[in-house]
Amino acid sequence: MLSPKIQAAINAQLNLELESSYAYLGIAAFFEATAMPGMAKWMRVQSEEEHTHAMRLFDHIHARGGAVVLQPIEKPATKFKTALAAFEASLGHERKVTSAINKLYALAQAEQDYPSQVMLQWFINEQVEEERNVGTVIDQLRMAGDSPSALLMLDQMLGSRTEGPEGNPQE
């Protein structure tokens, strides 16, 4: 059985993962509108992956006899100055998620909720991957600078992403 505190905190995390999915969809829309189909694809895959993260929490709540409470999701941004600014926004979002996961894990420890701790360990590893993946793209965008040919090459490379860590091969 989930304690009321843990149930509320996992529901809040579920909302944050859905917000992440929506945020990435907003960034995908930006890239679609700016002729960067590869970056749009990368963001779209990431958006789908965030939905699977939300569903892990959804399933955990039900598996523990708890109740899912769905809250409104914040409106995402769909306009950015540059591709770099869009990826930097992603990294900022991932850092927020990492901090929330760490707090949730600390709460699960305080509440002696061992199954939630095990479930959250997957998220802790995942956040390391996610911050690294976005950080790598940011480094590459910085290297590309204002060079259209470098940006187009990077766009093509990022468009080869088919699935993220959840379904691998990028794990």
Residues that bind ligand FEO (CB under 6 A): 17, 20, 50, 53, 94, 97, 130
Contact between 170 and 133 (Cβ < 8 Å): yes
- In angstroms, how far is CA 21 from the centroid of its own chain? 6
What is the rounded CA–CA span in Å between residue 108 and residue 27? Answer: 32
What is the rounded CA–CA span in Å between residue 127 and residue 105? Answer: 13
CB of 21 to ligand FEO, least distance (A): 8
Q: Which is nearer to ligand FEO, 109 or 125 (CB)?
A: 125
CB of 54 to ligand FEO, least distance (A): 8
CB of 168 to ligand FEO, least distance (A): 16
What is the rounded CA–CA span in Å between residue 53 and residue 80? Answer: 25
Q: Which is nearer to ligand FEO, 80 or 122 (CB)?
A: 122
CB of 131 to ligand FEO, least distance (A): 9
Q: Which is nearer to ligand FEO, 50 or 155 (CB)?
A: 50
Q: Which is nearer to ligand FEO, 151 or 158 (CB)?
A: 158
Cβ-proximal residue to ligand FEO, closest one: 53
CB of 63 to ligand FEO, least distance (A): 19
Q: Which is nearer to ligand FEO, 121 or 147 (CB)?
A: 121
Checking 125-132 for CB contacts under 8 A at 24+ apart, the result is: 126/53, 126/165, 127/94, 127/97, 127/98, 127/101, 129/165, 129/171, 130/94, 130/97, 130/165, 131/91, 131/94, 131/95, 131/98
